[in-house]
Amino acid sequence: MEIISTIRELQERLNTRKRENKIIGFVPTMGALHQGHIELVKRCVAENDTCVVSIFVNPTQFNDKNDLLKYPRTPDADCELLAGAGCNYVFSPSVEEMYPEPDSRQFEFGTLDKVMEGLFRPGHFNGVAQIVSKLFDAVRPDKAYFGEKDFQQLAIIREMTRKMNYPIEIIPCPIVREPDGLAMSSRNTRLNNEQRKEAVEISGILHKSKKLKEQLNVEELKQWVITSINESPGLKIEYFDVVNGYTLQSISSWEDSDSIVGCAAVFCGNVRLIDNIQYG
């Protein structure tokens, strides 16, 4: 495994592979890797000739600068995990390498970025589109792998890929959970022992709600989830919505779509966690 810090050097390596007609797979990350990331990497390794993983904490997608400062950074442990998973190249650039000058591009995603995360984190998805497009330009992969835990981000990246005519196949990968059900996240490392016990209630409530779908209408189920999370010690809901899995717009009836997803953002102490559940 080789660790590369410049776009020029990365492209030199990958151009050699492309001349050999090798298929390039790509997993973009912000580091602080956990088993959820490693599952993406293993799938990328299995389905491509060459696996590239980026580690870059992107400043333009943090609307809260304190959140950026607190974001965990574990480069040595990350590279050890990636080597064990079969990664070929780690692309770990500096901020100056990715942003030699400010990126003023504004992306238009219709209503996709106006709800849920977009509503509570203004500018976040524009920052995501800025860095993912830059990484796509640097790596020029055939396939790129993203986790379904960031369900709205996945929809945004699909739309960006379509709008910018990238010849890249976007591969969604299922949420990876801890044995007790908590969705794996780099932010979990910021939970203390008590908060870690409290946080598992998020996934527990979401899974219970799936069973209640047959008994409750959409609005009743939304209120049940919101109340249940807010009544759980240490948890405070920021939002919970039941949306069309294609448009991300709120639904009012279980018959509104053949893809229905419940998406939640919850504070456990001052740590913000997201999760989702597929209802259909």
Closest CA to 277 of 199, 217, 204, 171: 204
For residue 115 the two structure tokens come to 């709800």
Give yes or no: 207 in active site.
no
Residue in 34, 37, 124, 207 annotated catalytic: 37
DSSP code per residue over the chain: -EEE--HHHHHHHHHHHHHTTPPEEEEEE-S---HHHHHHHHHHHHHSSEEEEEE---GGG-SSHHHHHHS---HHHHHHHHHHHT-SEEE---HHHH-SS--------TTTTSSTHHHHSTTHHHHHHHHHHHHHHHH--SEEEEETTSHHHHHHHHHHHHHTT---EEEEEPPPB-TTSPBP-GGGGG--HHHHHHHHHHHHHHHHHHHHTTTS-HHHHHHHHHHHHHTSTTEEEEEEEEEETTT--B-SSTTS-S-EEEEEEEEETTEEEEEEEE--
Q: What is the CA angle 68-71-72, rounded to 5?
A: 155
Where in the sequence numbering do the catalytic residues fall? 37
